[in-house]
Every structure is written in C-alpha cells, then in structure tokens.
Amino acid sequence: MTAPVVASTRAELAAVLAASRAAGHQVGLVPTMGALHEGHASLMRVARKHVGDGAVVVSIFVNPLQFGAGEDLDRYPRTLEADLELCEREGVDVVFAPTVEEMYPGGAGADMTTVEPGAVADVLEGASRPGHFRGVLTVVAKLFGLVRPDVAVFGQKDYQQLALITRMAADLCLGIDIVGAETQREPDGLALSSRNRYLSGAERLAATTLSRALRAAQARAAYGLPAARWAAMSVLKSEPSVEIDYLALRAADLGELPDYPEPGTLGRVLVAARVGTTRLIDNLEIVLGKA
C-alpha cells in the first residue's frame, strides 16, 4: 500500500493533479468532512471503479459555512491521522485537507459569492437547518473548481444533499458525473455516520429506531402513504428517547406525492430525529402503490 499524497494548499493540490491530467487519467472526487468510516470507504471504492487507474481524490474539510448557530461545528470529530490510514487502505491517491483560511482566503463574509440552491433546499433538512445547503453547495462548487473531477461520489444517506448537488451540476453545466452510493449500515440497520460516535450505549440502541421505522414504512408502502406513514410513526413513537424532527414520504425527486400514487411509483421515506443531543438522518427507497 502506498500512502496518499497529502495536499493542504490549493497550490499543492494543483501540482499533484497536473501530473494525473497530463497522463490523461480520469479524476474521481470523494468530498468528506473527515471522521471517516466504512461508509466513506465504500464511496472511495465506487470512485475507484469509475476512474480505474486514474486518481481518486478525497477531500477532508469541516466546512463552517454549512453549520448553523448552535450546531456541532466545534465538537465535530477531527481525526486526520486515522482518516489518512483509512485512505491509504483504500488506495486513495490524493487527500486534500485544507484549513478554513485556505478554503475561504477572503473570509466567508457577506461579500463572498455563494451558490443559492433551488426550492428543494427549503424543505426537510433545509427547513430545519436554514442556510445549510447554501453552505454545502458553495463548498462543493469550490472543491469541484479546485479538483475539476470527471466524477464525484456522494452517499445516498444524505439524500437531499445528493439531489441538490446533482441538480447543481446539471443546472450550472459543470460537466461532472455525480454518483450516489448506497448507504452503508451496521448489522442492526443503523446507517453509518460520523455522528454515531457521539452516541452513548443506550442512545446507540435507541438510534436503531430510525432504520426500523423506515423499514416499517417500506413494508407498508404498497398500501399508500397514510399506511406507510402510520407504520413508521408507530415505530418512532415507541422509543421515548427519540425526538422526531421530521418523517417525510416524498417522490424520488423530493416533490410531494398524492396519498395513493400509481402502483410502482418510486419514492423515498426520510427521517431526522434527535437521540440525546445527537441529530441523525436516514432514508430508504420505497415502492408506492395501492393495495
């Protein structure tokens, strides 16, 4: 195994990527905020599949722009050494780990250009975390500009984020192939997340309620939205330590659905909830219909 080249400045990144480009190799980007786990490793493998012997670049940057006041920016885990080991194990070629000053050299004040997402950013996560997706799209656009990847891989666990980034790439004609990779789960169903490490033992057990609720909705989806919603809500409400933020059943593009869509319509059930002080999100595909 060869250790990845670590670039912490934009100039270093440009220098290492120039060689790849000169050799005509494809570049695949996996943007992350670090605290890497198996879920991220699976994104790296998807990127590798896409670029073959090209360069897989992982960015590690806790982006202050996407955290609201009172959110977990300060306590967000920063584990660079372990992250680099995981990247090495996965055969990553380049890790870009800039400082905040390097990413936002002029500061991130009101005069900075940001990316304004479309209306899909106003619901679900966007309604609970105002400004979050502006911060996400802005940093992702900057990473795209710095890395100029052929393909970029994001997890389906952040389904709304994936939808908005896919839309940004299309609407702004960025010419980057956006790939959504399957959510990775613990054997008991809990979706892998860097935030799982905040959970105490009891909270960790309670956290499985989210994926159980999603599966309950999935199992009832053929009977229409009301039945699926009721099934998921019953599971969520059975665990008093889970504070529900939202449970939503939406079309695959996150638009609204009628209660009884055409049989076979693909949708998504999405949940956000607080377990103790930790806010978790998860989602699953559902196949809707009328039994």
Q: Which residues are catalytic?
A: 40
Amino acid identity for residue 176 in this structure: I
DSSP conformational letter for 139: H
* Part of the chain binding ligand PAF (CB under 6 A), chosen from 28-36, 91-99, 210-218, 250-258: 28-36
Q: Does 136 bind ligand PAF (CB under 6 A)?
A: yes
Q: Does 117 bind ligand PAF (CB under 6 A)?
A: no
Amino acid identity for residue 188 in this structure: D
* Part of the chain binding ligand PAF (CB under 6 A), chosen from 31-39, 166-174, 199-207, 261-269: 31-39
- For the bound state, the minimum distance from the C-beta of residue 248 to ligand PAF, rounded and expressed in Å, comes to 19
Angle between helices 159-171 and 132-147 (to 10 degrees): 50
Q: Does 140 bind ligand PAF (CB under 6 A)?
A: yes
Pick 63 or 196: Cβ nearer ligand PAF: 63
Q: Phi, psi (5° rounding) for residue 247?
A: -130, 125
DSSP letters for 92-159: --EEE---HHHHSTT-S-TTS------GGGGSTHHHHSTTHHHHHHHHHHHHHHHH--SEEEEETTSH
Q: Does 33 bind ligand PAF (CB under 6 A)?
A: yes
State the residue for tokens 């360069």.
55
Here's the x/- map for ligand PAF, 54-83, by CB under 6 A: it reads as ---------x--x-----------------
Report the C-alpha gap between 42 and 183 in whole angstroms: 9
Q: Does 30 bind ligand PAF (CB under 6 A)?
A: no
Query: Which tokens hold the place of 98?
Result: 């800039």
In DSSP terms, which residues pair with 282 in a beta bridge? 271
Q: Does 124 bind ligand PAF (CB under 6 A)?
A: no
- For the bound state, the minimum distance from the C-beta of residue 119 to ligand PAF, rounded and expressed in Å, comes to 19
Residue 41 · residue 122 · CB < 8 Å: no
Pick 148 or 212: Cβ nearer ligand PAF: 148
Pick 65 or 216: Cβ nearer ligand PAF: 65
In DSSP terms, which residues pair with 271 in a beta bridge? 247, 282
Q: Which residues bind ligand PAF (CB under 6 A)?
A: 31-33, 63, 66, 136, 139-140, 158, 161
